Amino acid sequence: MRGLDLVVLRPGELSLKGGNRRFFEKTLRKNLRSLLGGDIPIERLWGRFYLGPIPKGWKGGDARSLAQKAAGVFGVANTSPACRVETSEEAIAEACVALMGEELDRRGEREASFAVRVRRADKSFAKRSMEFARDLGGQLLRAFPGLRVDLETPEIPLGIEIRPEGSFIFLEQFKGAGGLPVGCEGRVLCLLSGGIDSPVAAWQMMKRGCRVDLLHFDSRPFIGEGSLQKVRRLAQSLDGWQGRTRLGVVEFSEIQTRLRDLPKEGYRTVLYRRFMLRIAERIAEEQGHGALVTGDSLGQVASQTLENLRVVASASRGLPIFRPLIGFDKEETMALARKIGTYEISIEPFEDCCTLFQPDQPVTRGKIDVAERLEAQVDMEDLIAKAVEDCRWET
């Protein structure tokens, strides 16, 4: 008995078929490889992944910590720390008794409720699942008199999966991050402010299989160095969900100055957004991103009314713009931000570029032609071209 020395990983989205499925699994494998480094063997068999066996003294911890870590990868339905034995009644029974003994020792008490759950994917195994589960239950009760059966809510659920490649025995299942493996839906560019919303929007696109590059519009020297540091920390935090995250930084203060000096100050925020969108779209075209992403939520602030979203979007040349938070309440976004680990960074107090020169009375029902007339008063093309050219990428 080697104890729990590997992880059974069950991928999600099992409804995917054919070529999509293969691509999904290949991408998931690549992402697991980059998460785990070279030390842990990864085996893919019949729609499953097996991580391990874990080498002795592995610096990443044990099967349990590996299972928890791997569960955080998009595309994973769930994971279990497990042991693998040959598929025979005797070998499985022996491993179950050994594992139960270890578990009772770990708990430090001999009394516990348990249930045996058998799944038989290898139909050449002679016994039916229910019958085999009862046999095993009987053997465990004889070996450990303090146990009692509770099929509904057992303290120790003992899982057994009988498969062509071997049989797997486990006690725990960690819920996976769900979604699709990062990269299997292509690349998008997310406009990342220092606020609460845009990091959550970026995360949602990662969850649906996009590799998300980040683009920040930087208002220094009007605002301090701290704001950019905060955005970098957000990028770093998001990187935990996809790896190899790139952050582009665009100098925005010159454009803001020009727009500030225009009449109709109520249009300022909307004009900032139109410029951001144009610049982001050109960068996305150059870099091959398939869409832009923002953290807009309908009606949350003046710049996010139906009319103003339209005025902003009309500045684009047609690259899709995704707003995964459009139907979220602030509370829902905040809860998700906490869950994914960006909230604490987002609430650090730093100014953001859009409160800079904020008008007292922002328009709530902007008009496209008014925005266009205002923009005709600046050398728009030059400003945009310069901003695109000067974009600096940090990895």
Q: Least distance from C-beta 328 to Mg ion, angstroms? A: 15
Q: Is 257 left (phi over 0), alpha (psi -120 to 50) or beta?
A: alpha
Nearer to ligand ATP, 88 or 236 (CB): 236
Q: Strands 392-394 and 247-251: what pairing? A: antiparallel
87 binds, among Mg ion, ligand ATP, none (CB under 5 to 8 A by kind): none
Each residue 185-204 as x (binds Mg ion by CB under 5 A) or -, in order, gives --------x-x---------
- Cβ-in-10-Å burial (0-12, 13-18, 19+) of 250 comes to buried
User: Do 389 and 246 contact (CB within 8 A), yes or no?
Assistant: no
Partner touching 313 among Mg ion, ligand ATP, none, CB below 5 to 8 Å by kind? none
CB of 354 to ligand ATP, least distance (A): 5
Cβ contact 227:352 at 8 Å:
yes
| From Mg ion, ligand ATP, none, interface partner of 4 (C-beta below 5 to 8 A by class) | none
Residues near ligand ATP (CB under 6 A): 191-193, 195-198, 216-217, 276, 294-296, 300-301, 303, 352-354
Are 166 and 262 within 8 A, CB to CB? Answer: no
Is residue 367 exposed (0-12), middle (13-18) or buried (19+ Cβ within 10 Å)? middle
CA distance 234 to 211: 16
The listed partner (ligand ATP, Mg ion, none) that binds 172, CB under 5 to 8 Å by sort, is none
Measured from the CB of residue 355, what is the shortest distance to Mg ion in angstroms? 8
By CB under 5 A, residue 219 contacts Mg ion? no
Q: Which does 192 bind (CB under 5 to 8 A by kind): ligand ATP, Mg ion, none?
A: ligand ATP
The 8-class DSSP code of residue 215 comes to E
Cβ closest to ligand ATP, residue 132 vs residue 267: 267
E-assigned strands of the chain?
6-11, 42-45, 48-51, 76-85, 112-120, 147-149, 156-163, 166-170, 174-178, 187-191, 211-218, 247-251, 292-293, 321-322, 392-394
User: Smallest distance from the beta carbon of 332 to ligand ATP, in angstroms?
Assistant: 13
Q: Which residue is nearest to ligand ATP (CB)?
A: 195
The dihedral over CA atoms of 55, 61, 62, 67, expressed in degrees to the nearest 10, equals -110
**Which residues, listed in sequence order, are joined to residue 148 by a DSSP beta bridge?**
113
Helices 18-36 and 63-71 pack at an angle, to 10 degrees, of 130
- Taking the complex as a whole, the smallest distance from the CB of residue 194 to ligand ATP amounts, in Å, to 7
Nearer residue to ligand ATP within complex by CB, 13 or 352:
352
Dist. CA 53–CA 55, nearest whole Å: 6
Angle between helices 197-207 and 225-242 (to 10 degrees): 20
Which tokens belong to 171?
A: 């006690």
Smaller CB separation from Mg ion, 116 or 354: 354
The smaller minimum CB distance to Mg ion, of residues 288 and 349, is found at 349
Considering beta carbons, is residue 193 or 204 the nearer one to Mg ion? 193
Nearer to Mg ion, 193 or 342 (CB): 193
In the complex, the smallest distance separating the C-beta of residue 336 from Mg ion, rounded to whole angstroms, is: 16
Distance in Å, CB of 85 to Mg ion, minimum = 55
For the bound state, the minimum distance from the C-beta of residue 348 to ligand ATP, rounded and expressed in Å, comes to 13
**Minimal CB distance residue for Mg ion:** 195
Burial label, 191 (beta-carbon count in 10 A; 0-12, 13-18, 19+): buried
Q: What six digits make up the tokens of 147?
A: 């146990």
Write down the least CB distance from residue 354 to Mg ion, Å.
6
Q: Which does 216 bind (CB under 5 to 8 A by kind): Mg ion, ligand ATP, none?
A: ligand ATP
Smaller CB distance to ligand ATP: residue 116 or 354? 354
CB nearer ligand ATP, residue 105 or residue 329: 329
Kindly tell me the number of DSSP H helices and DSSP E strands found in the chain: 13, 15
For Mg ion, the binding residues (CB under 5 A) are: 193, 195
